[in-house]
Homo-oligomer: A and B are copies of this chain.
Amino acid sequence: MASAPVSSAAPQLSTTAPAGHSVVPIDLGERSYDILIGDGLLKAESFAGLPRSAKALIVTNTTVGPLYTAQLRAAIAPLHQQVLDVELPDGEQYKDWPALNQVFTKLLEEAADRKTVLYALGGGVVGDMTGFAAACYMRGVPFVQVPTTLLAQVDSSVGGKTAINHPAGKNMIGAFYQPLRVVCDIDTLDTLPQRELLAGLAEVIKYGPIADAEFLSWLETNLDLLLARDRAALRHAIQRSCEIKAWVVGQDEKESGLRAILNYGHTFGHAIEAGMGYGAWLHGEAVGCGMVMAADLSARLGLIDEATSQRIRALVERTGLPVQGPDLGADRYIELMQVDKKAEGGEIRFVVVGPLGQAGMRGAPDAMVRDVIAANVR
C-alpha cells in the first residue's frame, strides 16, 4: 500500500456464551462500554447497572415506536421515575435540524435536567440523531443505543459517531460522543423490511475486504442463511462485525487515521446518496454500490487483482444490492466527493483494499476515478 494507515489482522472471534448473549467490549479508556448481542434483550437485565435518573427519554421514529417503545419502556422502568418518548418522522430525509430540535423541545418542555438519559430506539438515523442530541443537550447528557436495524447493530450504533445532515452534505454536523451501552436485540430484526436487511448486509460485507478475508469467505458460504434471517448466522455476522469495528475504533476513536477504513465504499456511496437526494437510495444500498466502485479503483491501482474485485462485486450482487450507480455524470460525482469529510484541501481520499483483508487511504488520478465511474454507472 502506498499510504498509511493500513489495517492489519483483526482479532479472533471471541467465544460466545452458549446460552444468553454475547458481549463485545469497546475499549476507549473512561469512555469504554459494552455491546450486548442476543435474542430477547429488551428486558431489564440488559440495562442493569446503567445510571438511575428522574427522567429518561426514548427517542424513536413513527415506524419503530409502535413496535418496541412499550417493551423498552418496561425494561428501563426500574431505572427512572418517568420515561418519556418522542417519535421522529422515519427516514434519512428527516435526519436534519427540525427533527433534532423536536428532541430538544421535548426535553425542555419536560424540564429534563442534565442527568436525563436518552435511549435511541431505531435504526441509524435515530441513533445518530439521538447521540447528537445527547452530545448537545445542556452540553452533554448520557445515552444508550438500542439499534433495531441490522445496519445500526453492525455499524452506526457502535463507535460514537453522531450527526445530522446539512442540505449540502451528509453527516456534516455532528460530534464524537460515546453511548453508555449498545443493546442489540436480534429479535427486533424480525420486523425489518427485507430491503433494509439487505442494506444492513452491505455494512456487514464491508468488514471482510477491509479487515478479515476469512469473514468474507464465511459470508460467501452463509449468505443464503443470512438472507433467510437464520438466527445463528445473523448473530455471528453481527458479533464479528462489532468485534472488527470495536478493534478499529479502539485504536482511533476520532478518525485521525485507521478508523477511516470503516468508510470503505462510503466516498462513492455518499456521492450517490447526495446526488439522488437523501432517502432515494438507502445508505446501505449506496455503500454496497460504493464498495464495488472502490474495489474497481483498488484493482486499477494494482492493489488487488481483477478477480478479487469481481469477487466483492459478486457478493454485493448476490445480496441483492445495486452494483451500478446512477449516472450523475463524472463531474457531479467528483464535486460531491470533494465535499466529503475525508477530502483534504480538495483532494479526494479513497478507502482502498489490498491485499484482501487490509485497507488504506489514498488519492487517485482524476482520469482513473472517471474511468471507475464510467464503468460502474448505468
**Chain A residues within CB distance 8 Å of chain B:** 54, 97, 101, 104-105, 108-109, 111, 113-115, 135-140, 161-163, 166, 168-169, 172-176, 254-255, 338-339, 341, 343-346
Contact = CB atoms under 8 A, between A and B. Distances in A.
Contacts of A138: 172, 174, 341
A172 B344 contact: no
A343 B111 contact: yes
B111 A173 contact: no
Contacts of A139: 161-163, 174-176, 254-255, 341
Given A166-B105, A344-B113, A137 B339 contact: no
Contacts of A137: 172-173
Contacts of A341: 113-114, 138-139
Contacts of A345: 54, 113, 115
B168 A105 contact: yes
A330 to B, nearest CB: 18
Dominant secondary structure at the A interface: mixed
A290 to B, nearest CB: 19
Specify how many copies of this chain sit in the oligomer: 2
A252 to B, nearest CB: 13
A174 B54 CA distance: 22
A225 B363 CA distance: 60
A54 B338 CA distance: 14
Given A113-B341, A115-B344, A136-B174, 19 more contacts: A54-B346, A97-B97, A97-B101, A104-B166, A105-B168, A108-B168, A109-B168, A111-B343, A114-B341, A114-B344, A115-B345, A136-B173, A136-B175, A138-B172, A139-B161, A139-B162, A139-B163, A139-B175, A140-B176
Nearest to A342: B114
A343 B138 CA distance: 11
A254 B97 contact: no
Nearest to A97: B97
A345 B344 CA distance: 45
A166 B176 CA distance: 22
A141 to B, nearest CB: 10
Q: Which of A109, A136, A139 has the most CB of B within 10 A?
A: A139
Contacts of A136: 136, 173-175
A138 B173 CA distance: 6
Contacts of A108: 166, 168-169, 172, 339
A174 B138 CA distance: 6
Contacts of A104: 166, 172-173
A169 B113 CA distance: 12
